[in-house]
Amino acid sequence: MSRPRVRLVVTADDFGYCPRRDEGIVEAFLAGAVTSVSLLVNGAATESAAELARRHSIPTGLHANLSEGRPVGPARRGASSLLGPEGFFLGKMGFREAVAAGDVDLPQVREELEAQLSCFRELLGRAPTHVDGHQHVHVLPGGQTPSWA
């Protein structure tokens, strides 16, 4: 009896964070050590990373981000439960604490994630191969899974 075929998927996240990191990720992909990447659509090097993904036909997913940098959705234009006073996301622990305290407006989370998905589609011209979370923000305190997940 033959054994089922197993395929190991190694995903490099934070693609688009900065050019040097992206160069290393592409080198790892071309060497066969990485099989896919997850793109931060609000990263400093997002556009060049998207170009690298297209050029090298790298399977690319969305690295959903609610903890670092600035939003790409409607929250960037005003007050939001997702942002601190300077207009940046609350940080990994700040986001978790805000969720645990009930201070995060879930419709604002949905708007931001939908905006990130839209931005991804604009950058790459297609849907992501997968979606994962930057700094594990998709794992909420107490194992809660919100209705938008």
Task: Report the catalytic residues.
Answer: 13
Judge contact between 38 and 12, C-beta under 8 A: yes
Q: Which residues contact 88 (CB under 8 A, 6 or more apart)?
A: 68, 69, 70
User: Which amino acid appears at position 56 of this protein?
Assistant: H
